[in-house]
Amino acid sequence: MGASMHIDFVRRPSWQAQLSGTKQWTLRPVPECEEECMSVNLSPITIRPGDMSAHF
């Protein structure tokens, strides 16, 4: 299940480490960039135990 589609307003770099289970992300451009960023790959990303991701 998980959270519904939403925007996280994080003004600083952040990271995420998956300790157990899996998490699936679908990253999209923010609404202000949606028309210019239509070529962005919207494929889901699956994070597994031991994976880390950084967001800048």
Please give the pLDDT value at position 52: 93
Model pLDDT for residues 1-56, shown as the tens digit of each residue: 678 877 777 788 889 899 999 998 887 777 888 777 777 667 788 999 999 988 77
Residue 31 CA to residue 26 CA, distance in Å, equals: 15
Q: Cβ distance 2 to 23 under 8 Å?
A: yes
Find the angle CA(45)-CA(53)-CA(39) to the nearest 5 degrees.
Answer: 45
- What residue type is assigned to position 19 of the chain? L
Residue 44 CA to residue 27 CA, distance in Å, equals: 7
* Among 43, 48, 38, 39, residue whose Cα is nearest residue 16: 48
